[in-house]
Structure formats: structure tokens, C-alpha cells
Chain A
Amino acid sequence: MNNLLRLEEGVARIVADDPWVLVRDQEGEMPAGSLILPLNRWLLNPAQHAVWLGPDDEVERLNPWFETLPLIALDFPSFRDGRGYSQAYLLRTRMGWTGELRAIGDVLRDQLSHMRQCGFDSFAVREDKSAEDALKGLAGMSVLYGRSVIEPRPLFRRR
């Protein structure tokens, strides 16, 4: 995928040579290479490819495949649809997914720090936006009152 940011050991960088190809279509010809497939398509052959979930998809369905699954992507059809944040929380905190968790779709600079807090570690920034510019959105703010995937202790336990 193009326009991709990834966190590696806490440091964000632009990835120029990401091998993954995102397949949006639920049917039809499949391109060659490493694919990220929609859930129903991926379930037909779960051993081979990566998967992306829409906000309606149940994250629990991926549990049996954690050992072999190379990457999970969560789709934001609109940046104002917040379900992906809870899906990310569940994958990371409840189900223990430690592999790559990628945000795809309407992924914009001003939401990146929230996504990061909820456990995303790669971000396919919307194609018409600048990845360099989006990097500035990852840091967010220095104070988190509540808790999150990357900081499970609320501020009152750190204060």
C-alpha cells in the first residue's frame, strides 16, 4: 500500500516499500502478491492472506487464526465512524493480538493519535493526503486522563 506510516519500536516512519495490496472487492479477479482481503473472502482461504474488517464485522471471528495471520486491517469508511477504535481495543487488549494492526480507509492526520492510543501501529493515510504531513498527527498530546491500549493505567494510577 502507498502513503503508509508505521510505528517501529515507538518511532513512526513512512514506509515506501509496503508489500501489501488491499482488495476492496467482495468478488472478482484477485491480483497477484500479498493481499489484504475482505473478511468473507479471506475466510474461504484463511491460511494464505491478510484480512481487513469493516466496522460491522465481529473481531472475535479472527481468534482461531492469530498464529498464522500476518496482518489485520480495520476499515474506517468515514473518519467519523468510531467503531474501529473499539475493535482495535478488543483485538489488542482482550484477544491479545500482537501482530500488525493497520488503519485503512478515511485515515486522516487529526485522528492518528487516537488510533495509536487504541493500538494501531500502521496507518494507510488517505491517498489524497500527504503522509509527511500526517506524521505530525501521530504524537497527539502528552496527557491521557483515561486509559488506552498503549497505556492501560489511567492517569490516577500514574499521577
Chain B
Amino acid sequence: MYQYDDYDRALVFERVAQFRDQVERFMAGELSEEEFLPLRLQNGLYMQKHAYMLRVAIPYGTLSAGQMRTLASIARDYDRGYGHFTTRQNMQFNWIELAQVPDILERLAQVQMHAIQTSGNCVRNITTEAFAGVAADELMDPRPLAEILRQWSTINPEFLFLPRKFKIAICSAEQDRAAIMMHDIGLYLYRDDHGQKLLRVIVGGGLGRTPILGLQIREGLPWQHLLSYVEAVLRVYNRHGRRDNKYKARIKILVKALGIEAFAKEVEEEWQYLKDGPAQLTSTEYERVASAFVAPDYRSLPDIDLEFGTRLAENPAFARWVTRNVQPHKVAGYTSVVLSTKPGIASPPGDVTTEQMQAVAKWSEQFGFGEIRIAHEQNIVLPDVPKADLHTLWCLACEQGLGCANVGLLTDIIACPGGDFCALANAKSIPIAQAIQARFEDLDYLHDLGDISLNISGCMNACGHHHIGNIGILGVDKNGSEWYQITLGGSQGKNSALGKVIGPSFSATEVPEVIERIIDTFVDYRESEELFVDTLLRIGLEPFKEQVYPKVLEVTA
């Protein structure tokens, strides 16, 4: 993991002192609410329905055992004993007192963490996939460039008041698990035939009110130009992005208005002034940062572990968990484990308690190298678990409520905090997620259904990424009451697609029944082991609509 040097340390501590002063001035009435607003947002602090919410950055989703313990202590000392992992690999605390925020930030700074730019109209946390550095299908570790981008975008004075928020993701694997098509800038890192590191640059993707898949603006950009190219994109956006309407202010709207060719031309013209200048990355800097991401001291393990094989054979529940929650590793004898935060009724998607965080920290040391990842599906990843330890880990995870064998299944629901917490939400998300999870409790059935993603957002800001769920649920407001619109056919990854609305929306009590009818339709039409998305692609929306809207629903809630 990247370790702070004196510069990094000075920056986070000075930032805490600066914000402490701003909070004091606000509380003393010297700063108005309007003046304080962007200052607190750029320090991760939102005002929600009941309290302030603090969003802590987990850069590119990687954290150490010590950092996880600090998050656990913050949940215990300043919140109600739990935190919430978001779809952008951050952690949110929902019950925060403003006066305590500087102390929380100071505690974070002590373990090389911060909440800088996790909100506001600026460059947000740089994200990548949860299996960076260990995935079997990885081309290169994307984290050194992610860290370089994190530093460059942190308090970059020209780009702190952009028209709107700006999200950058980077990925370098066969499977795109970082959803780079859904970001303001998506970066795909690969090598050419001569081994040179190159970037494919995607621009103008995003979900929200106007979901758009990003478009390629540059192919084969040598990595040294990463910062100058991003600077060119940001300057064009900062100057020309719309500021008259916040719903039309994202870069995707500018790209759409100009057309990708004209936008690319603007960027290219700007870039001509910047390339080969001081912003050009050096090998020295790349090596300095990359040296923090070297592979740990893996032991030489046999790829086949006899005891593991025996456990698999004699314990079907364990075998099922291994099928769903264990990922191949590039080093023989090792695996990456996904701990599901989606147990159903017991706890909302993404929520973890202080005790669970402490347990995860301990396991990361006991069964790995003290490193933990947060997946954008809001689950926790232990990246380096020997096969021989999987059974022990599974038993411990089950005791802590983190052993649910549902990764990638219908109940591995992505959900935003929704109307229970968020002031922006039109409707609640968590009770919908839990009602669906309750209806699909039968794990055998879920496993038979195979991969199905179900994503829920409480409003069209789309924090729950409903557009890219195979099944998407969007909370909408109709005359002051909460309704839910269903989309089908969304998907993430290299074959990204946006879901299509199936028809009029439903009340909360109808949703589980609707989902069941959708699943029944899939089962009726499914050919052998076909995936949900493939059946949908083959038969289209109509059979699903016929099942969902034939007559008045008989609600069994």
C-alpha cells in the first residue's frame, strides 16, 4: 500500500486545521450557510435528513487493517456503531455531530486517511476495481496511476469549483470491474506489442438523471501524458460546461452538445500546450509510487490443497460460498474472498458494524497481508487468502454475519442509503432491498438463477447505479408518495448497457411481487444454464411486461 511521506502527511494535517477553523467560524456565525456549504462538502460533509453525514475517502478502495480499525473506532465513538460502504468505494457515517468532525478528520489523518473531495463540484475519489493487483485477468496494477491521479487532483486550485462533480475511474483487466464507461473520465490501461503502457481515455459517461455511456476520446495515449491530458479535459470542461442548470452541468451534457469529435478537438488543442511540459509524468515518480504496490511475500503454496478439497466435498454450504464468493488469484494457492454485506433482513446493503470492521481487520492479518479492499458492489474483499484457510475464514465470517454466499446473485443488491437517510431521495431504498431479500431467501433457488444484478436508487441521482443493474429499481415521487420504476437489461463491464423502463411504476408493497414475476418469466423462458441478461437479450422486454402488467397485482405483502 502507498505510505504517506512528509508532504502527504503535512497536507492532511494542514487540511484538518483549516477545516477546524472553518467549522469554528461557521458555528460562530462568521460564515454563512451558503459560504460554508462548499467548504464542508469538499471535506466530505453532507447535511442529511436527521444529521450530518461524513463520507470518508478510501482511495481506489484499498485500506489497511489499521485503517479499518480506525473506521471501526469512529463508528463506535462518533456514530451509532456502524458505517456504510458506498458504490464509490467510500465509507459513510450517518449520525455525525458537526463540532466533532475536525476530531474525526484528525483521527483519520493519523492513519493516512481523509475525506477531502468526497463531495462537492470537484474531482472525487479516484476509483478502480476491488481486485486490483491480484486478479487473475489483470493486465497491470492500475493503483500506481490511481494514486498519482489522487495526488494531482487533491486541492488542485484551478479545478475546485467545476460546473459539477467529476468522477474518474481506472481499470486494467480483461473484465471491467471499475465501470469505466459510467465515469466522467474512464481510463483503461493496457500495453502495446512493445510493452509500452498506454491509456484508452473514455469521456462523458455517467448515470444520474441522464444516463450516458462514455465515448472514447483517445486511444493509445502513452501513460506519461496522463496528467496533462486529464488537465486538458478538465480545463475545457471548467470553461465551457453548463452552469445555469445543475442537472445539465455534468461533462456528459457538454460532450453530447458539442459531439465527441468537436469536444475531442477542443481537448486536443488545449493539450498541445500542455504535453511534454512539466506535467509530463516521469519514470522516477511512477517507480516511487509503484514501489508501494509491490506484491507481498507470497508463500509458495500448492495450487491444490487436499484439506480444502475434502471440506468442499463434505460441506455443500461451504462449497456454495466458494463458488460465489471466492475469486481466482494470480498466485497459485491463493484466492481473493468477497465478504458479502448483504445478509438480508439482518442489515442493509453496505452496512457494517464496529465489531464486524474489527473482525475483518483481524482476518486480513490472520489470512493475508493486512490489506482490505472495498468493492463497488459495496462488499468487502480480502485479496490474499490461502486456499487452505478458506474454511476457517468462512466459519468466522458466518459467525459475524459476513458469510452470506450470495455474491453476484439476486440478493447481492446494490442500494443507496435512500429516503431513510438522504435528503435528496424521493423514496426509501433499504426497505425495498430487504423486502426483496426476504422474498428470495431460498439460497438453492438463488444459486440456480445464477448471476443477476439488482440495483436500487432512491432518486435519479442514481447512487445505487440502478441503470446498470440487470434489474434496476428507481424511487420516484408521485404526488408526495413513494413509487418505484423498474428497468430491465442494464449491465456493467465491457458490455455495459443501460436498462429500459418496463412501464408504469409500483408502490413499495408491490415491488417484491413484481420482481418475483420478472424472475418467474426468466425461469419460464430460460434455456439450460442461460444467464438472466442473455435470456432477456434473446426474448426482449415483452414477455416480462406481459407477466408484470396483465391485471391488477394481487399484493401479498
Q: A residues within 8 Å of B by Cβ? A: 79-83, 85-87, 89, 94, 108, 110-111, 113-115, 117-118, 133, 141-148, 152-157, 159
CB pair A85–B14 under 8 Å, yes or no, is no
> What's the least CB distance linking B262 to chain A, in Å?
17
Q: Which single member of A87, A117, A143, A147 contacts B11 (CB below 8 Å)?
A: A143
Q: Are A157 and B157 CB-contacts (below 8 A) given A82-B238, A86-B238, A141-B15?
A: no
CA A7 – CA B161 in complex, angstroms?
A: 23
Chain B residue contacts of A144, Cβ below 8 A: 155, 157
CA A110 – CA B38 in complex, angstroms?
A: 10
Chain A residue contacts of B282, Cβ below 8 A: 156-157
CB pair B35–A85 under 8 Å, yes or no, is no
Interface of B is mostly: helix
Within 8 Å of chain A (Cβ to Cβ): is B347? no
* Residues 284-333 of B at the A interface (beta carbon under 8 Å): 284-285, 288
A-B interface pairs (CB < 8 A), number: 105
Q: B residues within 8 Å of A by Cβ? A: 5, 7-8, 10-11, 14-15, 18, 22, 30-31, 35, 38-39, 121, 148, 151-163, 227, 235, 238-239, 243, 273, 277-279, 281-282, 284-285, 288
CB pair A142–B155 under 8 Å, yes or no, is no
> What's the least CB distance linking B116 to chain A, in Å?
11
Chain A residue contacts of B235, Cβ below 8 A: 86, 89
CB pair A157–B278 under 8 Å, yes or no, is yes
Nearest neighbor of A84 in chain B, beta-carbon distance: B161
Nearest neighbor of A113 in chain B, beta-carbon distance: B157
Q: Which of B39, B161, B162, B235 has the most CB of A within 10 A?
A: B161
Chain A residue contacts of B279, Cβ below 8 A: 147, 154
Q: Which single member of A118, A133, A141, A145 contacts B158 (CB below 8 Å)?
A: A118
Nearest neighbor of B42 in chain A, beta-carbon distance: A110
CA A155 – CA B8 in complex, angstroms?
A: 11
CB pair A110–B22 under 8 Å, yes or no, is yes
> What's the least CB distance linking A154 to chain B, in Å?
6
> What's the least CB distance linking B17 to chain A, in Å?
9
CB pair B152–A154 under 8 Å, yes or no, is yes
CA A110 – CA B50 in complex, angstroms?
A: 28
Q: Which single member of B18, B38, B161, B278 contacts A152 (CB below 8 Å)?
A: B278
Across chains A and B, which 8 residue pairs bring their CB atoms closest together, nearest first?
A: A82-B161, A117-B157, A156-B285, A114-B157, A143-B11, A145-B151, A146-B156, A85-B158
- What are some 9 contacts across the A-B interface (CB < 8 A)? A110-B35, A114-B158, A114-B160, A141-B18, A145-B155, A154-B152, A154-B278, A156-B284, A159-B285
Q: Are A85 and B10 CB-contacts (below 8 A) given A141-B15, A147-B278?
A: no
Q: Which single member of B8, B15, B30, B38 contacts A80 (CB below 8 Å)?
A: B38
Other than A141-B15, A145-B152, A157-B282, give 13 A-B pairs with Cβ distance below 8 A.
Answer: A79-B38, A80-B161, A83-B243, A85-B158, A89-B158, A110-B39, A142-B10, A142-B14, A143-B10, A146-B227, A152-B277, A154-B278, A159-B5
Chain B residue contacts of A80, Cβ below 8 A: 38, 121, 161
Chain A residue contacts of B30, Cβ below 8 A: 133
> What's the least CB distance linking A45 to chain B, in Å?
28
Chain A residue contacts of B243, Cβ below 8 A: 81, 83
CA A155 – CA B7 in complex, angstroms?
A: 9
CB pair A146–B153 under 8 Å, yes or no, is yes
CA A142 – CA B7 in complex, angstroms?
A: 9
Q: Are A81 and B161 CB-contacts (below 8 A) given A110-B22, A156-B281?
A: yes
CA A14 – CA B297 in complex, angstroms?
A: 59
